Structure 1
């Protein structure tokens, strides 16, 4: 296992430079190329999401809100809780600043990629509309680009496994129940195996129901888990008011402190923030366009505006809440490098000794929502490589991987997913940058139409 982990690390170090250029460099280009339109029309995006412009006769399977909820359910998960803790442990409080910067860039990337998901939809063998990177690569860039789409899908067969979520969930469970002697006597490995099997069974009941069932469950769980997490952090902040401003000052002051950075100096610190932000909101990864490509709309720009809310919710809001609790508690100075333990310590210290139990409830909602939605991405990848009938078999492979991930070392899981994400970013971002002029042209037409019809808000 150590040899396998070393191979993953050496591969990541090479690919992360390419990912940095494409996600950060490409994202900055899109910000200026769009003339900041995604940021200027934030209010309009909220109106679209609320259903103000919905037409039930539009093609697609799910509403704007359901598509956003499903996409956010996949991204708002353990990456926002333990992923932030891992980043702070490795790079210090200043890494949060670079997570924010990447998220702001990610807003623009989501706008472009999810607009393309509607613009270049296609029907599968069953006659259902499909959208995502593999479709805007082949249709937008042409048939010669199909190997690029296939490369994306092959990487997705690994990247779209819920292994990180399962691994961190079982770690949370064990740390909460370990003080119980009866449970502890059974053994950590055995308990993690049991939890993995239970998660596999629960996930099976939802993912074999198809997209609509996943979207319905996600739109129910997402508001609950975000509100509960927000309330928990609000209590922490209310009882530690004097430490809030110093916590933010610490983030900004440490953002350029190379003494606390990991190996690699300044660029190592920035890259850590980029990796964790991409893991958090998946901007540039190409996952969200698969859900947003199913939205009931004829307007690509509308879906792009809805999708851009994702990075704001899961990174600017949720990741910041996690970081503030960790900094207020001082847990980042004492926890081990397994991510979730740091966050558990932070909540337990700041919520009257019961915070770890509350976090367990929140983590359960986060984990299940992510597991339910991630399987859909893998099904689409395998369906594109083969056909829709074969693609459904991904769910069996997916369920089996859940049990494996429950007992796997955390370092292997993190590096495996980071590598897969880097490989997926490359073809997706190349396509998004190549097709960006198409989105700009559609944006110009869309806003001209909205203004002429007096529907703009």
Structure 2
């Protein structure tokens, strides 16, 4: 029965990404890139400046919101997902990951700016929001907002958290102890490791959203910087291979005979799927964190979340790709997953390499699990039309902990395809919505740039773009 379900999910995933999402993602990203006059490149220096702006200690800063969204984006997909894309699709998959990040930066800017415009105020004066809220506020459709909220909860508490758990435990399959603890023909490590991980997650989420912000704020910068430094070391030690690697990436990316001969396993398909899974641009997840930030103008947080896409894919995914490709190991489907990266680093650092990847996966998986649940709790509050009490939320948290355990027990194909399908449903809802509401975000961008040109620190008023009385925060 499980095999039949896995096969069905795999078919749905291939159909979604072969005929629908590839067109939607590229079309929407290119549309906003052109409409915003390449905002993701033109205002990249401004996005870096905005991240450092100070706010009062009782509010979520732009930097903290960036860390929560980056914690969710930067996860096991940055290691295992990239390795899978290269192992299955070849060198060219890296190019398509880059492309989806560059054009997706514009989509990420728009969706997060919209989340700021239509955010809500809680009893303590703090803000919250996300796609469900801008869907209801601007399109007057609470039903669609609820559908999106359910899709997000299924994706992040279900698909993504199961995948993060699976990837972490799967990275241990190369170690001798994995096959020493057996029950019949099945290793006990997924059961034991999944239980330990689930318990650790349960301990951390008892504190709720504020604790998640604090934990991710400490872990994300540490793990990201250290991982990139390791990749740079690999590139320096193998600098002679770099020209060949970049030639292979570009030539393989445009091997259209291979692409159309077997699209599901092509560089284009794998690069776009894994790029989307990694940076989540246009999916509608990061706006939930963006709405919580206390900024003087919605565009500021749009720029910050745009930067998060670049951190995720252009920096961290590229770091993984270079780790894999600079060591001379030829990509092959037999090496898919964590073993590809572990074997690559093993050729440079010996036994330390595989252990480093396992440690990185532990940090990446843990922060992903926590960041994902932050999103889910906001959507549960939206569905309930109120802030759920701690006892009520603990029921969901217990469910989330069980899901983390289950994920460690699943098989490679099912857990990846399920995450892809659930994420695809979110994108199919969110992308048309941000196209419909895109003019509002672009008017907001124009207002920001006018104030910058006048030498002001931009401050937003809803009336400046014709939304007087239509927002809760900016009147």
TM-score, normalised with respect to structure 1: 0.92
Is contact 1:262-1:269 (8 Å) kept?
no
Is contact 2:150-2:379 (8 Å) kept?
yes
Mapped to 1, the partners of 2:150 and 2:95 lie a distance apart of 33
Mapped to 1, the partners of 2:264 and 2:186 lie a distance apart of 38
Q: How many corresponding residue pairs?
A: 449
**C-alpha deviation, 1:383, in angstroms:** 2.3
User: What secondary structure, in the 3-state scheme, does the structure 2 residue paired with 1:445 have?
Assistant: helix
Residue 182 to residue 37, structure 1, CA distance change in 2 (3 Å): closer
User: What secondary structure, in the 3-state scheme, does the structure 2 residue paired with 1:331 have?
Assistant: coil
Is contact 1:193-1:403 (8 Å) kept?
yes
Alignment equivalent of 1:448, drawn from 447, 450, 459: 450
Moved more, 198-207 or 118-127: 118-127
- Equivalent runs, 1:161-172 vs 2, <5 Å: 161=157, 162-172=161-171
* 1:275 equivalent in structure 2: 273
Alignment equivalent of 1:120, drawn from 118, 125, 135: 118
**C-alpha deviation, 1:276, in angstroms:** 0.8
Mapped to 2, the partners of 1:269 and 1:139 lie a distance apart of 39
Residues 374-422 of structure 1 show CA distances to partners (whole Å, capped at 9, x for unaligned) of: 1112222222222432455322211110100001001100010100011
Is contact 1:335-1:345 (8 Å) kept?
no
Residue 266 to residue 359, structure 1, CA distance change in 2 (3 Å): closer
* 2:387 equivalent in structure 1: 388
* 2:52 equivalent in structure 1: 50
2:150 is aligned with 1:148? no
Stretches of structure 2 lacking an aligned partner (at least 5 in a row): 459-475
Residues 73-112 of structure 1 show CA distances to partners (whole Å, capped at 9, x for unaligned) of: 1111110101011111221111111110000011111110
CA RMSD of aligned residues (A): 2.3
2:195 is aligned with 1:201? no
User: What secondary structure, in the 3-state scheme, does the structure 2 residue paired with 1:169 have?
Assistant: helix
**C-alpha deviation, 1:361, in angstroms:** 1.5
Is contact 1:130-1:290 (8 Å) kept?
yes
Residue 392 to residue 140, structure 1, CA distance change in 2 (3 Å): farther
Mapped to 2, the partners of 1:186 and 1:243 lie a distance apart of 44
Residues 254-313 of structure 1 show CA distances to partners (whole Å, capped at 9, x for unaligned) of: 101246548644995423221111100000111111011100113110000111011111
Moved more, 332-341 or 359-368: 332-341
Residues 426-445 of structure 1 show CA distances to partners (whole Å, capped at 9, x for unaligned) of: 11111111111111111111
* 1:11 equivalent in structure 2: 12
* 2:76 equivalent in structure 1: 78
**C-alpha deviation, 1:20, in angstroms:** 1.9
User: What secondary structure, in the 3-state scheme, does the structure 1 residue paired with 2:317 have?
Assistant: helix
TM-score, normalised with respect to structure 2: 0.89
Mapped to 1, the partners of 2:146 and 2:436 lie a distance apart of 17
User: What secondary structure, in the 3-state scheme, does the structure 1 residue paired with 2:188 have?
Assistant: helix
User: What secondary structure, in the 3-state scheme, does the structure 1 residue paired with 2:187 have?
Assistant: helix
User: What secondary structure, in the 3-state scheme, does the structure 1 residue paired with 2:79 have?
Assistant: helix
